[in-house]
Structures are given as C-alpha cells and as structure tokens.
Structure 1
Amino acid sequence: MTPEQRHSGARDAIVYNWPQYAAGLATAVAAGVVARQLPRPVSDFARIGSAAALTLLGTATAAGWYVYDRSDLYTYDWLAALLPRTPSSYLVVSCGLDEVSASLAARWPAARQSAVDLYDPTLTDEGSIRRARRRVPPPAHAVAGRPGALRLASAGTDAVLLVFAAHELRRARDREELFAECARVLRPGGTLIVTEHLRDAANTAAFGPGAWHFLPRAEWLRLAAHAGLHQAAERRLARLVTAFAFTKE
C-alpha cells in the first residue's frame, strides 16, 4: 500500500479513537463554561484545565499527522537497515488491524508472505481495534491465530514483523507466548522486527496519558531475551516510533 493509497493516518486515528477525542473536547468545553460561573481563583484553574485538554488534543493530533502522514514510516525504507537481506519468506502478525501486508508484498514481490491475525475480543478489548477492523478487514490470506499458536512450521521463515501489534496484548503472559512463537517459527539467523511507540518522555509529551497504552523499551528487550532472541539493531523513526531487530542465533 503506497502513501497515496493509504487513508490519512491522523484522520484514521481520530476515527478509531473518536470516543476519547469526544471526551477530551467535552471536558474542555465543560470546564470553559463552568469557569464563567465560579469565583476566582477556582475559575482560573477551570480555564487552565480547559486549555490543557485542548492542548493535549492538538498535540496528539499533530503528532499523529507527523508520524503517520508526513514521515517515511509507511514507506518501509527503514527496513533496509534492520533487514540487510531481503527475506525469501516472512510472516506479518497483526492484532486486529493489518496495514503492513499489502505494502510489504509490493516491496518484496518475490518473497513468500504469511499473515496471522491475533484478534480476539477476549484478549484485545479496545473499541478502537473493533472500529479499525470494520474499516480495514484482514487480508484474504490471513489466518486466525493465538499468541501461543501462530500455526506455522517451526524454523520455516526468515523474518517476522510485529508492527504496532504486540502492545495490544495487554497481559504479559500473552506477549511472552507470542515472542516464544516468533522465535519458534524463525529459521536460525532469522529476524524479528518489532515496531512500536514507547512509553517514554517523547511520546508522553505528544500523547499525554494516552502514552500509557504503550509499553516501555525495557519490556520489549525483556520479551526478546525471554524468548532467546538477541538484539541486533534499534532505530528511531519519526522521533516517536522505535523499530527493534531481534535475531535467532
């Protein structure tokens, strides 16, 4: 999927997460209205709260626009630094929303692609995922899987890609099972690519409390080590996204 074929990433984020945006806007408006009825200095605090809510909405939207619409994130050119050799076979793992498979099929036309969708309402209860899934259905060749069962042969693929997927598994045990499965299906010398926002200072400044939906860098390193994978590379994308390469030795 080329940038021209994609929907606007910032617009998609608003559509998928519209209840949070509506709540933030309602909070800002309510605080501004109530401030007129309150004595000072209480009214000043209400106005500050209203301004803070509007600022957070603005920074989150601007950050999404920069990352998803203006950066080279979805060109996947950055993969060359993490996967020096084009894989002959690879697996895309999604968790309800797959915006990766079509782009990589165009980028690596000679490679064999597999796709596994981990979406399960009991594991991924985010309303945003349900809305995104209705708008962007899984690719026709995707098969349903579980964190502990990717339904691929052992040691049969050169690369596994988890792009904005693994953080949707909120239980540490599910993430550990997924990373163990990724290690199982990789050939010796194969690479797991994990691309995520991190729960760090930059993402907190951009997304406010929403950054707590992300996981810290230490968790991704822990999961890889727990699965017996070794960190080979790390790259910062669009200042707010981090891509890791973990290898199976």
Structure 2
Amino acid sequence: MEVKRKKFQGVLNILSFNRHFYVIGLLVLCLILIVCAYFEISKILIWVISGAFLYGLVMPLIISAYVYDFSGYYDFKWFKDLNIDEKVATQIVNINAGFDETSFTIKDKFPNSNLQVFDFYNADKHTEPAIIRARKVTNEYPNTIQINTKHIPLNDNSVDVLFLLSAIHEIRKDEEKVQFLKECKRVCKENGKVIVVEHLRDVANFFAFSVGFTHFFSQKTWLKVFKQAVFKNVIEKKFTPFMSIFTIEK
C-alpha cells in the first residue's frame, strides 16, 4: 500500500532533520548584525551579509520543495524512462540508509513483485543529527532487514532491479562504496540493473545548497566507483538540474 505524502513533506523533512543548522545559522547572523551595529559597519555591508545568510538558509528549502514536492520524484515520474519491464522484474530490492520514503511506492509500482527491503544504517558510522532524526519518523517497510555494507544476505544472480535512492552517499569512504556496489553486482542477475539516484557535488547543487553540497559526491567520483565495482554499463539521466539517475548494469 502506497503511503500518501503530505503537502510540502519534502521541505518540512529537510527543515526538521536539519533544524540545528538553521538555529546555528540564525544565531550567527544575529551575532554578526550586533557586532556590525556596535562598530557602525556600512549598511550596504550589513545588507550583503544578511542577504548571504538568508540565501544560504532559504534556498535549500526552495530547491527541496521543487525537487521533493513538485517535481514528481516520489510519484516515480522519472521511472518510465528507465526501460524496466514491470512484468519481467519480479525480484526487486530497495536499500536505504535508515530513512525509507520509497519502498511502499515501489511495491505499488511493482504489485506482483517480491520486494525485499534492506537498511545499512550504522549508528557508529552514521552519526549526523539529520539521519538520527529521520530514523525516528521513517515509514519502515514490513520485514525490513538490517545489514552492513559488506554483505547483502541474498543469493548470487537473484535480483532483477536494485534501488539505491538517495542512500549510498551516506557511505562516505570510496573504498566502502566500491565494496558495497560489488555486493549489489553479485546479487543482480546477468541482465539486472542497479538504480542509483543522487544529488551531485556540482554547480547547480552549490547554488542550491551552498556549502551543504559537499555532503554529496561529484559525477567523477560516482563514475570512478562504478568502474571500480566492475559494472559493465552506466547511463546517467538528469531528473531536474539537481538530481542524477544512474542506471548501472551488470
């Protein structure tokens, strides 16, 4: 059963999970304005500083609303371009990093499939406040299995489609990403596909998230780890200027 999303749920999630950044940002801005007023700094400079801080706080919310609430991302409007035969793809896997907003929708798109959901969240490694808060409100799919990135508990050549939707960037070390992707390759059938959806560390996401874009990885990094994991073919398509969909084949 698909979970119906609330209006502006995407941007509200961003605001809720990252509220510490907004509190700190506003406090720093207030402190700077007090210092500027005390030393009688130029009003133009004060406006420039205020504008820069407000841009950094507000723009991520605007872009998040566009990507997650208005673009059709969670309606899987991008899915029709992946050339996946829903009748043939019967063994589906969705792997998340502790926050799952897609498994119920995937099951709705593949009603006759066997969907297995895995979560590689590691409390010792994934210590960011945002992901900890996200885990408290996630809609966990029934029978979700906790795993580590070294092993996916499935047989070789058993999966038609494996989804990694805004998840694998939480694996910060390239070596661990490669190891995990090799596991994804192992469990996929010969004609199986891994679908990776990620923001990139690029110009568009810099203007969207300012320094926050460093949480993402560049296209060069993704292509490098896909190659090191020995995938045969990689196709990248843009979904909005801010997200890339990589279809990688065994």
TM class, shorter-length: over 0.9
Name the structure 2 match of 1:135. Answer: 137
Coordinate RMSD, CA, aligned: 1.7
The sequence identity of aligned pairs, in percent, is: 25
> Helix, strand or coil for the counterpart of 1:36?
helix
Q: How does 1:88-99 map to 2 (within 5 A)?
A: 88-99=90-101
Give the match's secondary structure for 2:201. coil
Residues 1-10 or 224-233, more deviating:
1-10
Question: 2:136, 2:91 → 1: CA distance?
Answer: 28
What is the rounded CA distance, in whole Å, between the counterparts of 1:202 and 1:78 in structure 2?
Answer: 19
Equivalent residue for 2:62? 62
Is this contact kept in 2: 1:3–1:75, CA < 8 A? no
- Structure 2: gaps of 5 or more residues: none
For residues 47 and 31 of structure 1, the distance between their equivalents in structure 2, rounded to whole angstroms, comes to: 12
Contact between 2:233 and 2:249, CA under 8 Å: does it hold in 1? yes
Deviation at 1:50, TM superposition (A): 2.6
Aligned twin of 1:153: 155
Structure 1 alignment gaps of length 5 or more: none
Q: Distance in 2 between matches of 1:4 and 1:40?
A: 46
Q: Secondary structure at the match of 1:152?
A: coil
How far the C-alpha of 1:211 sits from its partner, in A, is 0.2
Please tell me the residue identity of whatever aligns with 2:17. Y
Partner residue in 2 for 1:29: 30
Q: Distance in 1 between matches of 2:186 and 2:104?
A: 25
AA at the equivalent of 2:191: G
Does the 8 Å contact 1:158/1:187 carry over to 2?
Answer: yes
Residue 4 and residue 115 in structure 1: after superposition, are their counterparts in 2 closer, same or farther (change >3 A)? Answer: closer
Matched position secondary structure for 2:245? strand
Answering whether residue 4 of structure 2 is matched by residue 20 of structure 1, we say no
Q: 2: CA distance between counterparts of 1:7 and 1:91?
A: 27
Bigger drift between 147-156 and 48-57 goes to: 48-57
Distance 2:138 2:83 in 1: 27
Provide the C-alpha distance between the structure 2 equivalents of 1:143 and 1:54, rounded to a whole number of angstroms: 41
Residue 127 of structure 1 deviates from its aligned partner by 1.1
Letter in 2 for 1:66: Y
Off by >6 Å, runs of 4+ in structure 1: none
Amino acid at match of 2:130: S
